[in-house]
Structure 1
Amino acid sequence: MKESTGKVLLVDDDESILRSLGRLLGASGYHVLSFQSARALLDSDETETADCIILDLGLPDSDGLHVQETLAAAGGSQSIVFLTGRGDIPASVRAMKAGAVDFLTKPVEADTLLATVEVARQRARSLRETEEKKASAVRLVDSLTPREAQVMHLVVAGRLNKQIAADLGTVEKTIKVHRGRMMTKLGVRTVADLVRLVAVTDPPDQALVPSPTTIREGDEL
């Protein structure tokens, strides 16, 4: 038995299409789940971990484009491939602008479908990795004290220790202590590494950058 290469959700009201595509994708190593309506899909928790959703444009209970919008609004990282029985240029343009991987017409050739699903799988995995890196970076930044966060952003802005000390109304020795603690907490050793980590959290949370007047030298660190 082949190891699963990803999770694919099939959404179509035609049972014969669900069976044929399910067999094709299953034989290629994908874990496949089938749904015959938009509501069944949206009510399922499977969308949260799916790599690809093959979505019929004309479902009986909902427009496929509406399903795409609903999933996007929920913050899903899955990639969508539309499959339709009719050519619909305006719909295809709208779907692609909204982030669909492709817009295929039935009957679709096996090689074309498999190639498209693989592109969708890779896109979904890449997006998840990016989201995981961002979440990790945000957690690290959130672990900083307000003063450390302030020093972090000034370092990223290219300020030297003595300049930061002057900006914050303290002495350079104190800034070195804050800077050392900040770098240790974030797990970085160089300014270049720090800049890359902060860039991942873009747009930066301004709440993490208190103005100099909000922190006094005697504040809790």
Structure 2
Amino acid sequence: MNAINEDGIIHIVDDDRAVRDGLGFMLSSLGLTIETHSSALDLLDRLDGALIGCILADVRMPGMSGLELLDELKRRACALPVIIITAHADVPMAVRAIQSGALDFFEKPVNGMALVERINDALKEARARAEDEALKAAIASRIESLTGREVDVARAIMDGKQNKQIAADFGISLKTVEIHRHNLMTKMEATTPADLVRQLVTANWDKI
């Protein structure tokens, strides 16, 4: 079995130490970084907000079940993908897990190759999500640097207006519009109007 090392942490949550140790040994031997947790509450106490990684959680655990953990992770807006593993599977449980946001649902004993493949999918998803969040944060920072007039010009560009139309709408000279537009493009690190529009759409520009 080959795993993709995405520098993320695989959190194994199971009250059965033998299961934790077995999964941990298998996954760590493939180059993955492992953290084990004896309960859902232990996981929640130790989560550090990292965006890269995934969670393997049992369903039936003392205190908080795997399904309740899914709900709590959603409430906390935790972005880590979750794979549910259980020895007591049934269709309604699997449906609820998927509806609650689980990436997949495995029944014990787990097929190691299938699990590793799904973990790889989870890490890729987490990496893509983290990159998307980083991009949004960078764009948001650029937007915050804009003046009020530059925001107005950005909105006008989004509406497809040319510089002459913008000047007429705002009652300012064409030269002034060109200056605002130049500063806007520079601050947003945009090389073309299309690039600017893509950034503003990504950042939900209608909220600026």
User: TM-score normalized by structure 1?
Assistant: 0.87
Contact in 2 for aligned 1:9/1:35 (Cα 8 Å): yes
Relative to structure 1, is the Cα distance of residues 136 and 178 closer, same or farther in structure 2, using a 3 angstrom cutoff? Answer: same
Tell whether the 8 Å contact from 2:55 to 2:83 is kept in structure 1 after alignment.
yes
Bigger relative contact order (CA 8 A; separation at least 6): 2
Structure 1 runs (4+) deviating above 4 angstroms are none
Partner of 1:194: 196
Gap runs ≥5 in structure 2: none
**1:154 equivalent in alignment to 2:156:** yes
1:98-144 deviation digits (Å, cap 9, x = unpaired): 32110000110111111111111111111111111111111101110
| Whole-angstrom CA distance in 1 between matches of 2:206 and 2:96 | 31
Residue type of the partner of 1:201? A
Q: CA deviation at 1:169?
A: 2.1
Q: 1:47 touches 1:76 (CA, 8 Å); kept in 2?
A: yes
Matches within 5 A, 1:55-74: 55-74=57-76
1:109 aligns to what? 111
**TM-score, normalised via structure 2 length:** 0.92
Give the 3-state SS of the residue equivalent to 1:111 in structure 2. helix
Q: What's the secondary structure of 1:93's corresponding residue?
A: helix
| Structure-2 separation of matches of 1:110 and 1:132 | 32
1 CA distance for matches of 2:10 and 2:85? 14
* 2:122 aligned residue: 120
Shift of 1:90: 1.8
- Among 129, 141, 161, which residue is 1:139 paired with? 141
2: CA distance, partners of 1:163 / 1:65: 56
SS in 2 for 1:33: strand
- Matched residue of 1:43: which SS? helix
Report the AA paired with residue 194 of structure 2: A
Query: What root-mean-square deviation, in Å, do the aligned CA atoms of Structure 1 and Structure 2 show?
Result: 1.7
Across the two proteins, how many residue pairs are aligned to each other? 205
Deviates more, 1:143-152 or 1:4-13: 4-13
Distance 1:135 1:33 in 2: 28
Give a deviation string over 1:159-183, Cα, whole Å, max 9, x none.
0111111222222221111111111
Do 1:10 and 1:53's aligned partners in 2 also have CA atoms closer than 8 Å?
Answer: yes
1:59 CA displacement: 1.3
Task: Give the AA of the match of 1:19.
Answer: D
Q: Name the aligned partner's letter for residue 34 of structure 2.
A: V
**What are the ranges of 5 or more consecutive residues in structure 1 without an aligned counterpart?**
209-221
Q: Structure 2: which amino acid aligns with 1:202? A: N
